Amino acid sequence: MAALIGGAIGVGSTLLAGAQEEQENPGEATIETPDWTKIAEQASPSVAAIQVGMNGEISGLGSGFVYGDQGHVITNNHVVAAADAPGGEVQVVLSTGATVNAQIIGRDPETDIAVLDLEQQPEGLTPLPVGQSSELEVGEPVMALGNPLGLADTVTTGIVSALNRPVTTTNIGENPTEQDVALTITNAIQTDAAINPGNSGGPLVNGTGEVIGVNSSAATLQEPGSGGQGGSIGIGFAIPIYQATNIADQLISTGEAKHPHLGVSITSSEVEFNGISRGSAMVSSVSGGSPAEQAGIEDGDHIIAVNGTAVNSAVSLQAIIRSQAIGDTVTITLVRGGQQMDLQATLASE
C-alpha cells in the first residue's frame, strides 16, 4: 500500500549540411526531448501551494493547479479534508505570492480528488492545458510541480515508470471529525520524478507542458506508525488526468461524484489457460440487473483483462473499472471452462 503524501528526436540534418547545420539549428523541443526550463516557466503560474488551517493555525500543506476558467483548483481530497469542518479554512498561494482564500466545493475520498473555488481570481490566472493520460507511454519524460515539504515552486523531472499500476491508500472519509477511513484505489501512473510530502494534489505534466496526472502518493521505506515522514525513493504515483477531470467536473457541477461499477463481487485468484497459470479476478457473484449480468458475466468466471489491460487480482480490476467513466463500454476478457472470451459491458453508476 502506498503512503499518502499530503508525487528523442535528434537534430534534423543531411550528410551535406553536417555539423554546421547542427550548430545553427540544434533542434526543437518535443514531447520526447522537452525543454523543461520553458515548461517550468509556463506551468508554474498555474500551480499553487495549498495551506490548510484550523481556527487560524496552519495544520497542513499540499499542492494544486488551476483548472478551467472559473477559478477552480484541483487538489487531493486528503490535502483539504481536515478543513471541511467548522473552523477549517483553505488558502491558495500562487507563484506570484498572491494568497487567496478558497472554499471546498466538493471532494471525493474514493478517488482522492477535491476541487476548490477561489474567492477572488487574481489577474492573469490561467489554467494548465489538459493532456491525454491514455496516450502516455512507459519511458516518456514527465515533470512534477508543487510544494514538497513546504518548498513552493519546486519542480522535479523523471519518466513514466509504469502505467495501470493498482495502488491502494487510506483516505479521510466524509466526516473528518470522526476520522472515517475510505479506501482509495487508483489505476495509477507510476513515476520516478521525486514526489515528497506536500507534492500531493500538484500536477504531473508531459513533455509539452500538459497535465496528465495528479500527484497523490508515494511508496516509502518509512515503517507505519514509526512517526516522521519518509522521503522519496523514486516510486511515486499520480491519478490519471482522465479520471481526475471526470470527478472534478462532477464536483463542480453537483458537489458530489458518482463512480462506475461493473456489479460483481470478486476475489483474487489464479486460472490456467493454454497451459499457463496466471492471476485473475474471480467472480463470486453477479448483481441482478448490473452491467456484468447484462454483459453475460457469470459466477466462477476469471476476469483477466479490461480493454486489453491485464487484470491479475481483485484490486487491479477495481482500479481499472474505477478509472473509467459512467457510460463507458469496456471489453472484459475472461476465462470460463478453459475457454477465453471477450464480453462488452457498459458501466453504470453505483
The pLDDT-based confidence of 22 (bands split at 50, 70, 90) is very low
Residue 63 has pLDDT above 50, yes or no: yes
Residue 17: its pLDDT value, please? 36
Residue in 296, 272, 305, 298 with CA at minimum distance from that of residue 284: 298
- Cell for 151? 518548498
Residue type, 66: V
Residue 174 has pLDDT above 90, yes or no: no
The pLDDT-based confidence of 1 (bands split at 50, 70, 90) is low
CATH class of the domain comprising 260-349:
mainly beta
The pLDDT-based confidence of 140 (bands split at 50, 70, 90) is very high
User: Is 133-254 a CATH 3.40.50.300 domain?
Assistant: no
Contacts of residue 110, defined as CB under 8 A and 6 or more positions apart, other chains included, come to: 171, 182, 183, 184, 185, 257, 259, 322
Residue 343 to residue 337: CA distance in whole angstroms? 15
Is 259 an active-site residue?
A: no
Least confident of 28-37, 99-108, 178-187: 178-187
Contacts of residue 333, defined as CB under 8 A and 6 or more positions apart, other chains included, come to: 303, 304, 305, 306, 308, 340, 341, 342
Q: Which of 112, 216, 280, 301 does the annotation list as catalytic?
A: 112
Residue 223: its pLDDT value, please? 58
The pLDDT-based confidence of 57 (bands split at 50, 70, 90) is confident
Q: Which helix (H) or strand (E) holds 80?
A: helix 77-80
Q: Which helix (H) or strand (E) holds 283?
A: strand 276-286
Residue 72 has pLDDT above 90, yes or no: yes
Q: Which of 72, 78, 259, 261 does the annotation list as catalytic?
A: 78
Measured CA distances, 255 to 14, 179, 248, 251, 312 (Å): 58, 21, 9, 4, 34
CA Rg, the chain, in Å?
Answer: 22
117: Cα within 13 Å, side-chain hemisphere: 12
260-349 and 133-254 share a CATH fold: no
Residue 293 to residue 257: CA distance in whole angstroms? 24
Q: State the average pLDDT for the chain.
A: 87
CATH class of the domain comprising 42-118:
mainly beta
70: Cα within 13 Å, side-chain hemisphere: 10
The pLDDT-based confidence of 5 (bands split at 50, 70, 90) is low
Measured CA distances, 46 to 26, 72, 122, 306, 338 (Å): 29, 11, 11, 35, 53
Residue 258 to residue 250: CA distance in whole angstroms? 8
Question: Strands 113-118 and 99-108, how do they pair?
Answer: antiparallel
Domain ranges within the chain, ordered by starting residue: 42-118, 133-254, 260-349
Residue type, 345: A
Is 261 an active-site residue?
A: no
Is 72 an active-site residue?
A: no
Q: What is the pTM of this model?
A: 0.86
Q: Which of 161, 200, 316, 323 does the annotation list as catalytic?
A: 200
Residue in 96, 241, 253, 109 with CA at minimum distance from that of residue 169: 109
Residue 263 to residue 300: CA distance in whole angstroms? 14
Residue 293: its pLDDT value, please? 97
Give tens-digit pLDDT for 149-166: 989 899 999 999 999 999
